[in-house]
């Protein structure tokens, strides 16, 4: 009996062992295939486009099949070796059968850009840049951080050449730029405010008196106010005449004037700021304004001149976002205001301000220019002051009328140009104050010589020169590879 029990136990142990192994295998199979078939990352065979590779198979090959013949071409070289040629960017797979018609291998293939050759070019032309290069289907992905915008543009241009070469028919390849530019960017803003004003004025102001006198009274006609005041102050240029006797008085004064006016305004302020920081610039002055209060009169000041305020932001794409305000103002004697101070005989004249201002937000590339404001104005004004009836008489009617004609034209344009700049060595840079030669006492008193500027010694050195980089590596437009700053 005991022997029988021992046999049962001996037989039960292998039986339960097989059950445990079966359960473990089932659970392990479920864990592997949960959610569908999965492949290990990076398991695909990467083949550069227009290049080939030989793939070893563990068993003898009887039959093969490729998913997409447009992406890769395949050929059996030996019983266990395949030849694969990349024809177009993309992914596909190869299935391999043995002589028993059993699948012995499934090979995932990804045809990529020629990354190794492109990395060699980057190492040769941009050795100090930390730029990652990857291929994602039809996109050539650049990542990492470039030291400057011009280095990033050079890297993109290099990659674009490889991307264009990998385009096949309608399967176009593109460059995906995920790079950022390291360090702080300094942006110099060049502002140009150009304005031309012209004015033509014609004036004919008539002052006339015709009077008759008799023994019992008199009468006459008066045009244009007091004639004698006109002769004294009002008539600045023109004709006048007088005829009188015991019975009649006739006098006239014609103030005839024609004026031509032309004004040109050109302001070109430059200002530099760090990306994301506000900068302000004002070249002009302040004028006082009296402000009455409980304690009397206080003085406040208002700015005038050429002013610029802007906030630059350098974007990852290389564009420069500008939030800016430009102001050009000047004092004017027209439309002034006279204020009489209480308790005194003193009057205070407050001038008016002529302003040209614009405030906007724009986005530009380095070295590009855009007009942010403009104006074309054409004004015409005519006035006639006459005695009805008499003023309509041809020729002689001019003695009974005054007229004025004023026509003005204004053209204004405001342009801005942002540039990425960097510090420079001051040595050898020409300044506006250089090369002035002061006159000696002998030259000043005896020869009448004034201080002179020797322009022959002026240098053409620009404060910001481009880096020593091969011209073939840089684009032909933009400000980063050109001269920076204002050449003085």
Q: For 227-269, where are the E strands, in sequence order?
A: 238-244, 248-267
Distance CA 269, CA 107 (A): 65
227 within some domain: no
Which residues neighbour 391 within 8 Å (Cβ) at sequence distance 6 or greater?
384, 397, 400, 401
Select from 234, 211, 235 the least CA-distant residue to 221.
211
Domain count, the chain: 3
Is 273 part of a structural domain of the chain? yes
Structure-block tokens of residue 138:
């039809």
Same domain for 177 and 275: no
Burial code (b: 16+ CB inside 10 Å, e: under 16) for 254-285 equals: bbeeeeeeeeeeebebebebebeeebebeeee
| 54-72 residue pLDDT tens | 998 888 888 899 999 899 9
Task: State whether 299 and 373 are in the same domain.
Answer: yes
Do residues 176 and 80 both lie within one domain? no
Q: How far apart are CA 484 and CA 207, in angstroms?
A: 64
Query: What are phi and psi for residue 249, nearest 5 degrees?
Result: -135, 125
Instruction: Output the domain CATH number for residue 85.
Output: 2.60.40.1380
Mean pLDDT of 157-182: 88
Q: Which residue has the higher pLDDT, 224 or 242?
A: 242
Three-class secondary structure of residue 18 per DSSP: helix
Evaluate whether residue 199 is within a structural domain: no
> What would the pLDDT profile of 271-330 be if each residue is shown by its tens digit?
999 888 899 988 888 888 877 777 777 888 888 888 889 999 888 777 899 999 988 888
- Please count the CA atoms within 13 angstroms of the CA of 286 that sit on its side-chain side: 6
For 305, the 3-state DSSP assignment is strand
Give a yes or no: residue 428 inside a domain: no
The reply to whether 2 falls in a domain is no
Task: Please indicate, yes or no, whether residues 100 and 120 belong to a single structural domain of this protein.
Answer: no
* Phi and psi at residue 207, to the nearest 5°: -120, 120
Q: Where are the alpha helices (DSSP H) in 73-222?
A: 115-125, 149-165
Structural domain that includes position 167: 115-181
Mean pLDDT of all residues in the chain? 77
d(CA 64, CA 346): 108
- Residue where one domain finishes, among candidates 400, 421, 442: 421
Verify that 175 and 85 share a domain, yes or no: no
Higher pLDDT, 27 or 423: 423
164 with 277, same domain: the answer is: no
Q: Are residues 318 and 398 in the same domain?
A: yes
Residue ending a domain, choose from 396, 421, 446: 421
Q: Is position 485 within any domain?
A: no
pLDDT band at 215 (very low <50, low <70, confident <90, very high): confident
pTM for the model stands at 0.50
C-alpha separations of 418 from 189, 296, 325, 352, 367 in Å? 5, 48, 14, 33, 6
Question: Is residue 225 pLDDT above 70, yes or no?
Answer: no
Residue 319 sits in the same domain as residue 285: yes
Let me know how long the chain is: 488
Residues 270 and 412 reside in one and the same domain: yes
**pLDDT tens digits for range 377-419:** 888 888 888 888 877 888 777 777 888 888 888 888 889 999 9
CATH number of the domain encompassing residue 173? 3.30.70
| Span between the terminal Cα atoms of the chain, in Å | 118
Q: How confident is the model at residue 341 (pLDDT cuts 50, 70, 90)?
A: low
Q: 63 near 31, Cβ under 8 Å?
A: no
């Amino acid at each position: 009996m005991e022997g029988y029990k021992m046999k049962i136990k001996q037989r039960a142990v292998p039986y339960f062992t097989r059950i445990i192994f079966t359960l473990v295998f089932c659970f392990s199979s479920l864990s592997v295939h949960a959610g569908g078939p999965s492949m290990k990352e990076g398991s695909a065979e990467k083949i550069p486009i227009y290049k080939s590779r030989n793939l070893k198979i563990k068993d003898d090959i009887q039959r093969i099949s490729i998913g997409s013949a447009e992406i890769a071409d395949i050929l059996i070289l030996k019983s266990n070796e395949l030849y694969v040629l990349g024809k177009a960017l993309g992914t596909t797979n190869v299935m391999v059968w043995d002589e028993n018609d059993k699948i012995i291998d499934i090979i995932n293939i990804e045809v990529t850009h020629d990354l190794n050759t492109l990395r060699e070019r980057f190492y040769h032309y941009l050795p100090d840049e930390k730029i990652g290069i990857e291929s994602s289907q039809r996109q050539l992905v650049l990542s990492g951080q470039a030291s400057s915008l011009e280095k990033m543009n050079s890297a993109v241009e290099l990659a674009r050449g490889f991307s264009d070469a990998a385009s096949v028919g309608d399967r176009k390849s593109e460059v995906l730029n995920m790079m950022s530019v390291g360090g702080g960017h300094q942006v110099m803003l060049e502002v140009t405010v150009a304005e031309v004003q012209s004015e033509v004025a014609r004036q004919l102001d008539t002052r006339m008196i015709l009077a008759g006198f008799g023994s019992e009274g008199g009468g006459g006609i008066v045009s244009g106010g007091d004639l004698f005041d006109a002769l004294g102050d009002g008539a600045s240029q023109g004709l006048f005449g007088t005829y009188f006797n015991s019975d009649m008085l006739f006098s006239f004064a014609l103030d005839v004037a024609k004026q031509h006016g032309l004004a040109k305004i050109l302001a070109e302020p430059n200002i530099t700021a760090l990306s994301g920081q506000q900068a302000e610039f004002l070249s002009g002055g302040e004028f006082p304004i009296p402000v009455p209060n409980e304690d009397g009169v206080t003085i406040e000041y208002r700015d005038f001149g050429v002013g610029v305020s802007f906030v630059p932001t350098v974007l990852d794409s290389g564009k420069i976002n500008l939030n800016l305000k430009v102001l050009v103002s000047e004092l004017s004697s027209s439309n002034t205001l006279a204020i009489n101070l209480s308790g005194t005989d003193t009057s205070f004249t407050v001038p008016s301000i002529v302003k040209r201002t614009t405030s906007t937000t724009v986005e530009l590339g380095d070295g590009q220019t855009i007009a942010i404001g403009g104006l074309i104005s054409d004004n015409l004004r005519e006035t006639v002051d006459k005695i009805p009836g008499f003023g309509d008489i041809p020729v002689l009617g001019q003695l009974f009328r005054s007229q004025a004609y004023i026509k003005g034209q204004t053209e204004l344009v405001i342009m801005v140009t942002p540039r990425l700049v960097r510090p420079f060595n001051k040595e050898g840079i020409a300044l506006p104050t250089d090369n002035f030669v002061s006159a000696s006492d002998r030259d000043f008193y005896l020869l009448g010589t004034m201080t002179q500027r020797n322009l022959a010694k002026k240098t053409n050195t620009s404060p910001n020169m481009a880096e020593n980089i091969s011209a073939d590596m840089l684009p032909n437009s933009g400000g980063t590879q050109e001269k920076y700053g204002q050449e003085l």
